[in-house]
Structure 1
Amino acid sequence: MTDIPADHPRHDSLVTRHRIEAGVEQGITSKQGLIAQGRGEAFDYLLGERTTESADAAARVAAAHLLRARHPVLSVNGNVAALCPGEIVDLAEAVGADLEVNLFGRTAERVRAIADHLREHGASEVKGLRADARIPDLSHERAKVDSDGIYDADVVLVPLEDGDRAAALGTMGKTEIVIDLNPLSRSAQVAAVPIIDNVVRAVPNIARHARELRGSDADLEDLTAGFDPEAVLAAAERAIRDATGGSERSPDGVQD
């Protein structure tokens, strides 16, 4: 990776780009993942490259859902594995969730590479290699899941844009937590808990909230029942509109 000065105004963005590039070289991330990263980066720029209050509130509710779940599962694709492998493993430990590799451009080699990469970052078990069950009404490779993983889960974290699978999982009656920088995407629109934030911030944020909630007297059921996903989406869209109007951004794109 090219050395990037810590005081560079685009430091975090450039680091994530290099992580995605390295993921492609390792066979973890697909070339299409480069395009997805660029699309997300554009929305993150408009959001001020920060976790908004509404995104933080959604992350707290997500933590509550994962802690209350009978069987929580965190879905991992190539971009997640490249961007925040240690953080997603840490979140799984914090909430007692399974990790499962699920890919659109699925090959046996990529699934194994991602599973090995997660193990290198501390995962003890990674699902997704058997793919002995299918999500109904999906005709592509994301339909392939483990019967004792995503197929059996009651709460599923789906990071990054994944609209058709998100809709199909919702039809199965699962509670979906979606991390997506685009509040207008189908993934965010169908989620029980949309978190409009960068995955590199959202994943450790959920883990932090989970550990705080486990050590508190908070009523998890009340926390999840009082959540309004439409309000979160509206707040994110307002933040983007305000930013494009110039009220929340400095000229060089660094948060004021």
Structure 2
Amino acid sequence: MPLIPKSHPRVKSLLIREKLVNGFDKGLVAKEGLLAQGRGEAFDYLLGEKTNKSASHAIKAAAAQLLVAEMPVISVNGNIAALCPKQIVKLSNQIKANLEVNLFYTNEKRKQAIVKILKKNGANKILGTKSTSSKKLPGIDSARRIVDKDGIFVADVVVVPLEDGDRTMALRKAGKTVITIDLNPLSRTSQTANITIVDNVTRAIDLLINESKKLSKKNQKSLLKIINEFDNKKNLRENVIQIKNNLTRRAKIA
């Protein structure tokens, strides 16, 4: 990894890029994943590259939803494995959720590379790796229709960070409660999910871990109140307004 000065004004963003490039070199990330990161980074720029109040509210609702879930599953793709494997394993342990590898541009070599990095960071049980456990999710034609019969197929709540819109829609139609992390509040994924955390995944996962730990002391009634009071449409509107306000401020400075 090239030396990036800590004094650089966008050092965090550059480090994220390097993690993805390193992930690509190790066989974790598809070429298309690099392009997806660039699109997300553009929205992070517009959002001010920080976690806003709307994202914090969504994180709280997501934590509550995961704590009341009977069978939560976290879907892991190459970008997640490259960016935050340690945190995603920690989150799965915190909320007692299974990890399931699920890829759009799938191949066995890349899948095993992701499994290896997750195990290196403490994961014990990883689903989505055995063809004998495969089930097809209705309403989707890509490779992501293949899910684990003991994981996403039977899950009540699915966390899908950096997700495709068509699979989010298929998961909703299958009766799943979907939590996503997506920097684009206008994407199909954001618009379709039950709870959308509009934030950079590298910030959001840590905050979700902390919030889950904090809310784990709450009773079921309190957690359900948090979930019922959350309005994802309002959440998305607030993020669009945030982008508009940031652009307006920039326009005045220019």
> What is the TM-score with the length of structure 1 in the denominator?
0.95
CA separation in 2, counterparts of 1:249 and 1:106? Answer: 46
3-state SS of paired residue (1:49): coil
Show the counterpart of 1:179: 181
Name whichever of 49-58 and 216-225 sits farther off. 216-225
3-state SS of paired residue (2:41): helix
CA separation in 1, counterparts of 2:218 and 2:97? Answer: 20
Paired residue type of 1:133: K
3-state SS of paired residue (1:246): helix
Contact 1:161/1:185, CA 8 A, preserved across alignment:
no
Contact 1:48/1:248, CA 8 A, preserved across alignment:
no
Q: CA deviation at 1:18?
A: 0.3
CA separation in 2, counterparts of 1:250 and 1:123? Answer: 48
Q: CA deviation at 1:160?
A: 1.0
Total equivalences in the alignment: 251
CA separation in 2, counterparts of 1:203 and 1:248? Answer: 32
Q: Quick check: 1:195 aligned with 2:197?
A: yes
3-state SS of paired residue (1:219): helix
Show the counterpart of 2:65: 65
CA separation in 2, counterparts of 1:154 and 1:145? Answer: 14
CA separation in 1, counterparts of 2:252 and 2:238? Answer: 17
CA separation in 2, counterparts of 1:139 and 1:46? Answer: 33
The one of 237, 242, 251 aligned to 2:240: 237
Q: Quick check: 1:119 aligned with 2:119?
A: yes
Q: CA deviation at 1:214?
A: 1.0
CA separation in 2, counterparts of 1:158 and 1:239? Answer: 24
Paired residue type of 2:196: P
Q: Structure 1 regions of 5+ residues with no counterpart?
A: 252-256
Show the counterpart of 1:143: 145
Q: Quick check: 1:154 aligned with 2:151?
A: no
Paired residue type of 1:194: T
Contact 1:71/1:153, CA 8 A, preserved across alignment:
yes
Q: CA deviation at 1:216?
A: 4.0
- C-alpha change, 1:250 and 1:21, in structure 2 (3 Å) is farther
Paired residue type of 1:62: A
3-state SS of paired residue (2:225): helix
Q: CA deviation at 1:7?
A: 2.1
Q: CA deviation at 1:249?
A: 10
3-state SS of paired residue (1:225): helix
Show the counterpart of 1:80: 80
**Identity over aligned pairs, percent:** 45
Contact 1:46/1:244, CA 8 A, preserved across alignment:
yes
Q: Structure 2 regions of 5+ residues with no counterpart?
A: none
Q: Quick check: 1:34 aligned with 2:37?
A: no
Show the counterpart of 2:49: 49
What do you get for the CA RMSD once the two structures are aligned? Answer: 1.6
Q: CA deviation at 1:137?
A: 1.5
CA separation in 1, counterparts of 2:44 and 2:60? Answer: 20
Q: CA deviation at 1:161?
A: 3.6
Q: Deviations over 1:155-194 (max 9, x none)?
A: 0001014100000000001000010000000000011001
Show the counterpart of 2:17: 17
The one of 227, 230, 234 aligned to 1:227: 230
Name whichever of 139-148 and 124-133 sits farther off. 124-133
Q: CA deviation at 1:57?
A: 0.7
CA separation in 1, counterparts of 2:183 and 2:226? Answer: 23
Q: CA deviation at 1:246?
A: 2.2
> What is the TM-score with the length of structure 2 in the denominator?
0.95
